[in-house]
A and B are shown apart, each in its own frame.
Chain A
């Protein structure tokens, strides 16, 4: 039987500078607008006649060469928001005008597991649930660190904790009609304990020759691999690179380098890990950021911008360039000196919802959008 498809998402929060990620190096305006932050041509990694990777994306070049990496150019939505949180909300909820409180992946999970039979159908790595995964009646475990995840983790001593969890399961197991709210809390506690018990087994089952780096992105990508390899039936694995790291207003040269070194190394490790375990066939990794950055640098960094870049990597991905590089010509820019989008992010979501999950996309992404043929 074919394995169910799985989506892994790495959100590059803070607003990744697309211009210095996939560089339009033959465009003279790039040099004009980036006098301080332009990347020297002899360092960048050409992938087409016009585009090159940031030098620190070297580990990802092989996925491009294999034809397993899709690059989406000029991704955004109408009337861009320059607020991190609002723009991220728009990506999470697919509601560019109204403020929504339900996430697109929450809706996916509801369709995949309507009765919430598997409390691990969706798992988030990081603290607090991103709105992308939020939907009433959809349980999503939110795991800070898989190695230490669980209930009552502050109790010292293995025996004491085991006893405490035993008491916990009995206290929460006795739902004998003590009112709706108490019954609800106890049922939820029982679910949480079940999910934690199952998840806690993942690191023990795991062995690999792959080394991730000792950074949050490294830990989260490793945890995603561990959870996927443990075969709990998880379909959506989500994580966010640490708090707004890509918000490179100042000293971007050093910071952006570090960020992409970290992301590239660990995404490569993740793919190698899955391949080593013959578990990569059904996984698609999607990476995005809430917006790109201003075209002109500000001397040491770049300010909030509009259209950005997104990526998909996986065995099912048809590698290539999708969308067009937004024009750097002043007359064709978005207001405020920004890149204008030409691909709506909901086109990518539509493709994911339909081709990864086999679901009807329009109620999930709030509208009909033309697919992007990358799957």
Chain B
């Protein structure tokens, strides 16, 4: 009974966005899968979020210094932007190019960094690495501000190679040597920020990227076998050509959009789960001259992606924003309560704008422990049980229009409404038994129908299956 086009669209929107309401899914499915993918890949073809309206209702967002306000701003965008893939890519890069508020100590700088990911995250990877390497927040976070001609700090130089572009190795080989790390770090000496931190004695003012030629090591360096008077930009130009970089980005895209991979430190020894798709993503990287959107097009239109439904554990932001988009809360209607909402990813173990380390969050099933699972279940169940919210009300009405249903039909139809969720046989049989115990459910009694349906939605939100996306 599940419409396969709607189910596929639900999958696409969960992965390439933050989910959608039932009525949106049906409208999008009618547009055709490939057309929707193209629209996602071309954010400029979609209307932008109404920034004026947002600023009018949330004037505190304007040049906000507080981290909480910047997180609210971001969560509001995730819930409301029509440019869903663009926002999802901002989250993607935030989870790889990790820099955290705990050290940066400025919500404003964190907000700027996310805005940079939003602007460049689907564009050319070379440009993105340049933006990253001139991001004041990143320069400070990885101590490049402490790296001088006469005293090199290798932190950024190393992480640029290890975590942001090439990875330690592939196919069991190593991608670069310790000497390459040193050369890379030397090439980035003089890449710094102003004013310095800590902000004694006058307090904080916004940072600017500052290149100081006098503090740059202009002597010859050998990087990946090539000798020259390399500066940071030369290094980036060499990095983006490397097969290791194509592989590294391809695996990250696969891990985020298709299926949970082994943790990054194991990638050198562990071949990709799906070498065929990874190969095609690498090819798209080169064919397009390092365009991320070209890789995404190959990925999102592949059967490998389309068939990978419910194979990933949702990250906390996906749980929170995806649930709200489905039920229609904080969408369109501007109202208080955003602060509370924006804290929920943190309660579930994902403190946005403050990843635990430069290596980011541990993802996949590691999102879940007994504390975070209680938060995830209660959050989703609370919202899916609110039958007066527009998204849920619509789901209830669609079910009621199907007429009288047997308990089996009722459970299947409810799961279908909740993002075409696949229930395992064990889970389904428990829910059917529960529906049977509650007795016959007539579609004629609107009030009782709504409350019984809301209750079933809550039970579905509480299933282990709902944790997957």
Chain A residues at the B interface, C-beta cutoff of 8 Å: 81-86, 88-89, 99-101, 119, 124, 127-129, 131, 136, 139-142, 150-155, 160, 163-164, 167-168, 170-172, 174, 176, 178, 180-182, 184-186, 188-189, 191-192, 195-196, 303, 335-337
Contacts and interface: CB of A to CB of B under 8 A. Distances in A.
A184 B369 CA distance: 9
Contacts of A129: 349, 371-372
A170 B430 CA distance: 7
A164 B459 contact: yes
Contact of B464 (A88, A89, A189, A196): A189
Contacts of B362: 136
B127 to A, nearest CB: 28
Contact of A185 (B100, B354, B356, B373): B373
A196 B378 CA distance: 13
Q: Give 5 nearest A-B pairs by CB, closest first.
A: A85-B102, A83-B105, A154-B382, A101-B356, A142-B371
B455 A185 contact: no
Interface string B235-260: 00000000000000000000000001
A159 to B, nearest CB: 11
Nearest to B423: A171
Contact of B103 (A83, A100, A184): A83
B349 A85 contact: no
- Interface size range of chain B in the complex: 35 or more
Interface centre among B203, B347, B374, by most chain A C-beta atoms within 10 angstroms, is: B374
A53 to B, nearest CB: 31
B201 interface: yes
Contact of B354 (A85, A152, A189): A85
A164 B102 CA distance: 40
Interface string B355-381: 011100010111011111111011001
Contacts of B103: 81, 83, 85-86, 99
Contact of A184 (B201, B365, B430, B455): B365
B304 interface: no
A154 B354 contact: no
A86 B368 contact: no
Interface in B371-405: 371-375, 377-378, 381-382, 385
B426 A171 contact: yes
Contacts of B431: 167, 171
B385 A154 contact: yes
A114 B201 CA distance: 48
B192 interface: no
Contacts of B468: 181
B427 interface: yes
Contact of B368 (A82, A163, A185, A337): A185
Given A99-B356, A128-B347, A182-B464, A155 B374 contact: no
29 contacts: A83-B103, A83-B105, A85-B100, A85-B101, A85-B102, A86-B102, A88-B102, A128-B351, A136-B362, A140-B369, A151-B378, A151-B462, A152-B378, A152-B458, A154-B378, A154-B458, A155-B458, A160-B455, A168-B462, A171-B430, A171-B431, A171-B462, A176-B426, A178-B424, A181-B260, A182-B464, A185-B368, A185-B467, A303-B203
Contact of B105 (A86, A100, A172, A184): A86
Nearest to B348: A128
Interface string B83-102: 00000000000000000111
A140 B459 contact: no
A194 to B, nearest CB: 9
A188 B455 contact: no
B365 A152 contact: no
Contact of B357 (A88, A99, A186): A99
Contacts of A182: 424, 464-465
Nearest to B203: A303
A89 B371 contact: no
A195 B373 CA distance: 12
Nearest to A131: B356
B346 interface: yes
A171 B427 contact: yes
B247 to A, nearest CB: 25
B357 A100 contact: yes
B280 to A, nearest CB: 26
A70 to B, nearest CB: 29
B409 to A, nearest CB: 18
